[in-house]
Amino acid sequence: KANKKVYAVHMYDGKQHGFHNDTTPRFDAESAKLAWTRTLEVFDAMLADKPDDPARQRNAALAHKQIGAHYAGRLNPDAAREHYQRALDLDERRLAANPTQRSAMFDVAIDLANLANEAHKASDHAAAAQLYERSVALRQRVADSDAKDVQAKGRLAYAQSALSREYLHLGR
């Protein structure tokens, strides 16, 4: 309040710290879903206030990636794809506004790979291959933009390997 910041505090009565961690006995699915919903409401409100702010776009996209991963791990592919697609939409807006920004390129590449992985799990190998091709192209641009960036080359190799897997399924 002293800094004139808007904030909200939510208490989850009877829940232990870490109730969102689904690898522990503390996990509470209902509370975790409510917490994610509230988190997205905050990011969506901030984004609505300044829809072209790249930092807000990225923060909202990161939240959607995390929620997508949560649903992917809980075997809810429709919800995972919905959140991964929203992350992609936000990150593509950032990339369109600044086409040479490495972090935006890589964020879009991750989004594409997340969607490709969901397509792979649904045995839609043609869609997975198309998405991985786009991811590889962006990762290649990132790697080419800095020859000394070994991490970018490793990320590229990961996507190339995943794309190769899809090509094998398609008989290419």
pLDDT digits over 51-107, tens only? 999 999 999 999 999 999 988 987 789 999 999 999 999 999 999 999 999 999 999
- Predicted local distance difference test score (pLDDT) of residue 155: 95
> What does the pLDDT read at residue 141?
97
Spell 35-49 as b/e; 16+ CB within 10 A means b. bbeebbeebeebbee
Name which of 141, 144, 137 is nearest 160 in CA terms: 137
| pLDDT value, residue 114 | 98
What's residue 129's pLDDT?
Answer: 98
Residue-level pLDDT at 154: 96
Which contiguous run of DSSP H or E holds residue 5? none
Mean pLDDT over the full length of the chain: 93
User: Which tokens is 22 given?
Assistant: 């689904």
Contact predicate 71/80, CB 8 Å? yes
Give residue 25's pLDDT: 87
Q: How far is CA 15 from the centre of its chain?
A: 27
Which range is least confidently modeled, 18-27, 79-88, 127-136? 18-27
| Alpha carbons 65 and 91: distance in angstroms, whole number | 11
Rounded-to-integer distance, Cα 127 and Cα 51, Å: 30
Which pLDDT does position 74 carry in this prediction? 74
